[in-house]
Amino acid sequence: MLEQPKTRPEWLRETTLVSAALPEPPLVRKYAGGQPLDVDQEYERALREETLESLVAAGVTLVWVRFYSGFGLEFEKAEIERVRDFMVRAQARGLRVAAAVQLGLVVPETLLLEEQECHNWLQVNADGQHVLAGGHAAGVRPCYNCEGFLRYAERVCLLAVDAGADLVQLENVSYNLEPDTCCCPLCVAAFRDFLRQQYGAHDEKTRQAGLARFGHNSFIHVRPPAMEDDWSGSSDVRAPHEQEWMKFKVRTLTACLGRLSQAITRRDPECAVGADLLRGRYSLGETLHGVSYPAHIPLVDFVRPARAFSIAHPFSPYGESPGGAPEHPAGEPKSPELAPAYLHPLAVAAELKLAHAFGVAAETSAGAARELKLLMAWGLATETNLGVAPLETGLALNLMHNPFGLGCLAEDGPLGSQEQAAREESMKTVRAYLDFYTRHKAALLSARSLAAVAIYHDTANELFWPATPHGENQELEAKLEAGGWNCEPLYPNQFPDISRYRCVVVACARLLADEAVQVFTRYVEAGGGLVVFSHWGKHDEWGRERAQPALAALLGPDYLDGLPALTPLCYKGEPPKPLQRQVGAGRVAFVSWARSDEGTLAAVSFAAGGAPPWSVQREGTRPLSWAVQAADGTLLLHAAELSLNAPAGGLRCSIACDKQPQQVLPCAPGREFAPVAFTWENGRASFELSAEAAGGQMPRYVMFRAEFQAAQQ
């Protein structure tokens, strides 16, 4: 972790971030194979002035270029020169340039020609083999503890800064799954030192910690643990030796990202640092790859999903397909609830909310475009029923959850590569959304969400019990969203801010640190609501078993009576009865996973003390909604239609507000509306946008502004 929070470049807030990406340069695509015959000409076209013109015309403000691909600075020299020239021309037209540098993959056969030491930079797994990075045929993972590699990586980053990059994107900084990770002599030595520093005999505190954790203080002969083949987080990580190894990988990536981020910022404080850390929040854990959101996101200014790996969005029922092209999914989606068109946007929203929780800029609609293309490829959606919706869905989700801009319009290449007619249609849509964003930008940037419910996440559970929290939090968030309770993630970093939520759900926390237990207890006593799903907190953050679950005192004697029937994830016989109780000024509720969705919603309603803070309804479909409050007090209620067909019926909405609004104005890109009639009763404003009021054509996205007298003074 950095000593102080990273200073954020001003331009990130000042610019409306709308991006498009150049294709990968020919040398990368030739290496991967399967490129089109005219790959050289295609890239040349992408670098031309016409491309820049089309980007500017489409409203793009940030262009992604591949600056370094892992082959070696000498080997890539000509390519780097070409892209440097493009960067200068792009900036002359007022565009910002993001330079992507490949860090988690090196190509030794070319790099060796210029860096003879580089064979010592490579990861070596437990079998003594180099670790393939996937994606490229011969790309190998470098060791993030290797000084030689880190210096080279620093040189690459600074070269990108000196070339005038506005943002340097650190790509692919992660590990393969166990046991295909680095056990080179450097890592072994660093692991021993990591253990000694925390648990060695050199001072009294660490000596005691070592005795408590390992029963000894000697780590001279420790080796990385032998993890099972294809270990994918399906079993707990229980042994301290294995747990510390998981933490060691996170620490190694923290040091690597922190060092490169600081080097870039020192060279130019206005150059932003980005990383492709997002792995789909609920897909198989990012922690399996050594990535920890609370440790790593604060080190950068900007996050986006990994491009180098094909990871299906976690809300999609098809799971993960690392490293390769996704296969045709077997069978139909499990249920309409799981229809990708609905679930996918929830996943995009989850990633944007995550970035927002850590205060960094993000873009994710690139993933949206890719996912929607996949749906078309799989025959689950067609051009006809999607219309321009993929683009519009991405834009709408960004308006709802990304105050920094509208995300990525084109990942595989500039918009100019589309067919003429489609391009004009897309550009018209983008322009309307851009005008809309610009008009409301100040309010959106200053706003805080009104979400009443937060779902608790922490590193111990995600590192040592990685498969379970992801799957179950996914299910839970979808359930709550369907019941009108929109949620945000809550990590321990955000404990100082916990009182802004009416309810915290501890859904998946087999391990619970004393600190978290104390925070939850104080939070409830001061008036908060807590929902607990099982005997969470039976173990502390090292997995040591407590005499009774740590939250038992809050949940009271009836909770303990129900416990003998509990086994970790399933119940023998009848599931325990739900339980609700007042504690201090607050409320706690227990509900078992085996109970129905209604039980879950009842527990949340009780703990949150009343109705959801807002509601948006439409006959026959379920619009996605989100509400925020701008700094001047104005409430902004977003509603986006996610069904593949154009929205038909009117929207019925309500939102909690302690004062009577002066007016409620529906706003939509490219449309003008008159204020709608509203009622204000019991601290809640209710209103409707009927199909008639919308001239028979409902917008796919609409934002209601509830304005107040005081706001205008």
Q: Which of the stretches 144-152, 316-324, 492-500, 603-611 binds Zn ion when contact is defined by CB under 5 A? A: 144-152
106 is a contact residue toward Zn ion (CB under 5 A): no
Q: Which of the stretches 30-38, 145-153, 384-392, 591-599 binds Zn ion when contact is defined by CB under 5 A? A: 145-153
Provide DSSP, 359-408.
T-EE--HHHHHHHHHHHHHTTSS-HHHHTTHHHHHHHHHHHHH-TTEEEE
In angstroms and rounded to an integer, the radius of gyration of the C-alpha atoms of the chain is: 26
Closer of 23 and 258 to Zn ion (Cβ): 258
Q: Are strands 272-278 and 167-171 parallel, antiparallel or unpaired?
A: parallel
Alpha carbon distance 498, 494 (integer Å)? 7
Closer of 145 and 486 to Zn ion (Cβ): 145
Closer of 27 and 260 to Zn ion (Cβ): 260
Residue 489 near residue 354 (C-beta atoms within 8 A): yes
Closest CA to 625 of 476, 498, 484: 484
Alpha carbon distance 217, 71 (integer Å)? 43
Closest CA to 450 of 323, 353, 583: 353
Q: Which of the stretches 137-145, 282-290, 384-392, 438-446 binds Zn ion when contact is defined by CB under 5 A? A: 137-145
Closer of 182 and 368 to Zn ion (Cβ): 182
How near is the Cβ of 275 to Zn ion at its closest, in Å?
20
- Residue 586 falls in which region: left (phi positive, over 0), alpha (psi -120 to 50) or beta: beta
Closer of 184 and 703 to Zn ion (Cβ): 184
Q: Which of the stretches 70-78, 136-144, 527-535, 701-709 binds Zn ion when contact is defined by CB under 5 A? A: 136-144
C-alpha of 436 from chain center:
25
Residue 588 near residue 555 (C-beta atoms within 8 A): yes
Strand partners, 505: 455, 531
Residue 16 near residue 439 (C-beta atoms within 8 A): no
23-62 binders of Zn ion (CB under 5 A): none
Closer of 46 and 143 to Zn ion (Cβ): 143
Q: Are strands 579-583 and 487-490 parallel, antiparallel or unpaired?
A: unpaired
How near is the Cβ of 262 to Zn ion at its closest, in Å?
21
How near is the Cβ of 667 to Zn ion at its closest, in Å?
54
- On the CB side of 415, CA atoms within 13 Å amount to 29
Closer of 143 and 156 to Zn ion (Cβ): 143
How near is the Cβ of 259 to Zn ion at its closest, in Å?
16
Q: Determine phi and psi for 291, rounding to 5 degrees.
A: -95, 130
Q: Which of the stretches 142-150, 225-233, 377-385, 486-494 binds Zn ion when contact is defined by CB under 5 A? A: 142-150
Torsion sign across C-alpha atoms 386, 392, 394, 396: negative
Alpha carbon distance 388, 423 (integer Å)? 10
How near is the Cβ of 182 to Zn ion at its closest, in Å?
3
- The 10 Å CB-count burial string (b at 16+, else e) for 87-113 is bebbeeeebbbbbbbbbbbbbbebbee
Closer of 182 and 498 to Zn ion (Cβ): 182
Q: Which of the stretches 141-149, 257-265, 277-285, 296-304 binds Zn ion when contact is defined by CB under 5 A? A: 141-149
How near is the Cβ of 144 to Zn ion at its closest, in Å?
7
How near is the Cβ of 145 to Zn ion at its closest, in Å?
5
How near is the Cβ of 111 to Zn ion at its closest, in Å?
17
Alpha carbon distance 151, 299 (integer Å)? 19
Closer of 54 and 252 to Zn ion (Cβ): 252
Q: Which of the stretches 86-94, 185-193, 383-391, 508-516 binds Zn ion when contact is defined by CB under 5 A? A: 185-193
143 is a contact residue toward Zn ion (CB under 5 A): yes
Closer of 161 and 186 to Zn ion (Cβ): 186
How near is the Cβ of 155 to Zn ion at its closest, in Å?
20
Binding-site size for Zn ion (CB under 5 A) equals: 6
How near is the Cβ of 252 to Zn ion at its closest, in Å?
8
184 is a contact residue toward Zn ion (CB under 5 A): yes
Contact residues for Zn ion, defined by CB under 5 A: 143, 145, 182, 184, 186-187
